[in-house]
């Protein structure tokens, strides 16, 4: 049992909130609780936020990788690899990426051995075409037949250099779970209590690794997983099975009949469908497929990167939800200005016009391809300013409250009714350090004072 005292709840000041067995049981004044009490100091207590579209494996792998994109000299490469080796147990893989080609050229197996003698190390050059492996890594992957892409010295021994060896390397290394703890902690600092992993690449093996991360507490958030194929919910409910994900590629679009067949398969599995739609072409195909196969409440368009005015009515009529990334306006807006036709710029990452049409819209990060920070994304949804300060599709600006609401629908009902702090609701809560009105005036992650999931405090600002 615990108590949160003196909070602003749904606009009312000075309220106490009593939590028992992971559920809000009482809200009022002068409440007492036997367990720990948290003084909210007048800050707003809101439902925990939901990131409705992210990629946990890629995010954790990226957080765990040594990034070399910005190194200018070899001694910095050495310093970062040695630091990674020092922070890992012996035998733990080190993956380094982005090494500038002129530096990667000078490296070989012996050099890498000297920096990380006890850890298998693989280092990729900036083009992605070349991998360099140290002796510990070669000992693990080169046990059987070694393909042509692995370079050999005149004497026949492997040099550790491998060209275009990604598929083979991936198969040899197998499915290794990156540490999810840093991702779970980062989400907790943002007040995020639930995430939907939108990866089409989620296999049964990956789902099992994610479930383990939830059991271990590395990922304290509630988890919903999409997948391209079949997925069963685990008995201990460590994750929920979400939509079937259909990934489109504008350069090689799925034939319509195959698209319709995949939707039909999702229905046989009892699942809704989420389609990756970044371009107008992908959207047109998706709308045609849903029109042919029939849509269901809960079917989703992921990104909605370009939604022409003329398509808005069709999206509404099909009852599709749009899961957008407002942060892209800020993070990628300048690129859109230079790469997207001027006539299409008003169609980019729409928000206000979709809401006005009665379409469900939800917010997300697409991390690690976008930044995790939902508060910065809310700011972008309100301002529609690029990093350089230019306005992009200004008609799509939403109010601060509408921007917050993008993250307050349930994971299984993004864009649906906003969750509330009420008796009977799960104690998945985000405590802010000031009244909501002040937070919304300039949303930022630093205002999150505490995050609670199922009544457990998973983050408390120091």
- Residue among 369, 371, 362, 203 nearest 298 (CA): 362
* Residue 136 CB neighbour total at 10 angstroms: 19
- Closer Cβ to Zn ion, 202 or 221, answer by number: 202
Name which of 169 and 301 has its Cβ closer to Zn ion: 301
Give the shortest CB-199-to-Zn ion separation in angstroms.
Answer: 7
Strand 2-9 to 37-39 pairing: parallel
* Sign of the CA dihedral with 289 first, then 291, 297, and 300 last: positive
**Least distance (Å) from Zn ion to the CB of residue 367?**
9
Q: What is the DSSP letter of 298?
A: T
Q: Considering the complex, what minimum distance in angstroms separates the CB of residue 336 from Zn ion? A: 17
Least spacing, CB of residue 422 vs Zn ion, in Å: 32
Residue 62 or 126 with smaller CB distance to Zn ion: 62
CB of 119 to Zn ion, least distance (A): 31
What angle do helix axes 181-189 and 56-64 make, rounded to 10 degrees? 110
In this structure, are residues 412 and 270 in contact, taking their beta carbons and an 8 Å threshold? no
Which of residues 226 and 448 has its CB atom nearest to Zn ion in the complex? 226
Q: Which is nearer to Zn ion, 122 or 330 (CB)?
A: 330
Residues 153/108, Cβ–Cβ less than 8 Å: no
Beta carbon of residue 55, minimum distance to Zn ion (angstroms, whole number): 6
How far apart are CB 334 and Zn ion at their closest, in Å?
21
3-class secondary structure for 370-383? CCCCHHHHHHHHHH
DSSP per-residue string spanning 153-175:
-TTS-EEEEEES-HHHHHHHH--
By C-beta, is 325 or 451 nearer to Zn ion?
325
* Identity of the residue, 98 or 368, whose beta carbon is nearer to Zn ion in the bound complex: 368
Q: What angle do CA 455, 460, 462 make, to 5 degrees?
A: 160
Cα–Cα distance for residue pair 6/149, rounded to 1 Å: 65
Nearer to Zn ion, 150 or 376 (CB): 376
Q: How far is the CB of 198 from Zn ion (least distance, A)?
A: 5
Q: Where does this chain bind Zn ion (CB under 5 A)?
A: 198, 366
Burial class (CB in 10 A: 0-12, 13-18, 19+), 80: middle
**C-alpha distances in angstroms, 107 versus 73, 155, 169, 315?**
12, 19, 19, 53
In degrees rounded to 5, what are phi and psi of residue 446?
A: -65, -15
> Shortest Cβ distance from residue 200 to Zn ion (Å)?
9
Residue nearest to Zn ion (CB): 366
- Write the DSSP string, 74-106: HHHHHHHHHHHHHTS-TT--EEEEEE-HHHHTT
Which of residues 44 and 226 has its CB atom nearest to Zn ion in the complex? 226
Number of H helices, E strands in the chain: 16, 24
């Amino acid at each position: 049992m615990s108590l949160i005292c003196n909070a602003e709840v749904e606009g009312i000041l000075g309220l106490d909130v009593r939590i028992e067995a992971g559920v809000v049981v009482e809200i009022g004044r002068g409440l007492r609780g036997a367990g720990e009490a948290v003084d909210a100091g007048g800050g707003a207590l809101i439902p925990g936020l939901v990131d409705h579209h992210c990629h946990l494996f890629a995010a954790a792998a990226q957080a765990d990788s040594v990034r070399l994109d910005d190194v200018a000299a070899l001694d910095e490469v050495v310093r970062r690899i040695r630091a990674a080796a020092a922070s890992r147990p012996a035998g733990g893989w080190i993956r380094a990426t982005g090494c500038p080609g002129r530096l990667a050229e000078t490296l070989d197996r012996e050099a890498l051995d000297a920096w990380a003698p006890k850890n298998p190390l693989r280092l990729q050059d900036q083009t992605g075409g070349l991998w360099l492996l140290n002796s510990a890594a070669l000992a693990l992957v080169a046990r059987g037949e070694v393909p042509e892409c692995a370079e050999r010295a005149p004497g026949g021994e492997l040099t550790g250099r491998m060209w275009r060896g990604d598929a083979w390397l991936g198969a040899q290394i197998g499915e290794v779970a990156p540490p999810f703890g840093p991702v779970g902690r980062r989400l907790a600092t943002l007040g995020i209590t639930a995430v939907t992993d939108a990866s089409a690449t989620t296999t049964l093996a990956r789902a099992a690794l994610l479930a383990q991360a939830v059991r271990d507490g590395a990922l304290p958030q509630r988890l919903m997983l999409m997948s391209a194929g079949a997925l069963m919910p685990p008995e201990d409910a460590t994750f929920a099975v979400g939509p079937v994900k259909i990934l489109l590629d504008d350069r090689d679009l799925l034939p319509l009949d195959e698209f319709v067949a995949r939707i039909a398969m999702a229905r046989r599995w009892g699942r809704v469908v989420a389609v990756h739609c970044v371009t107008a072409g992908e959207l047109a195909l998706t709308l045609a497929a849903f029109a042919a196969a029939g849509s269901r409440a809960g079917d989703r368009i992921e990104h909605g990167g370009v939604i022409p005015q003329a398509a808005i009515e069709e999206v509404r009529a099909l009852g599709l939800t749009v899961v957008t990334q407002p942060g892209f306006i800020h993070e990628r807006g300048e690129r859109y200005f230079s790469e997207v036709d001027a006539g299409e710029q008003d169609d980019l990452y729409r928000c206000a016009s979709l809401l006005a049409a009665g379409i469900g819209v939800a917010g997300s990060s697409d991390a690690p391809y976008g930044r995790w920070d939902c508060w910065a994304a809310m700011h972008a949804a309100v301002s529609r300013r690029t990093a350089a300060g230019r306005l992009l599709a200004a008609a799509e600006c939403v109010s601060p409250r509408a921007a917050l609401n993008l993250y307050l629908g349930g994971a299984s009902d993004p864009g649906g009714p906003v969750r509330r702090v009420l008796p009977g609701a799960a104690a998945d809560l985000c405590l802010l350090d000031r009244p909501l009105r002040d937070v919304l005036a300039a949303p930022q992650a630093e205002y999150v004072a505490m995050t609670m999931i199922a009544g457990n405090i998973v983050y408390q600002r120091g």
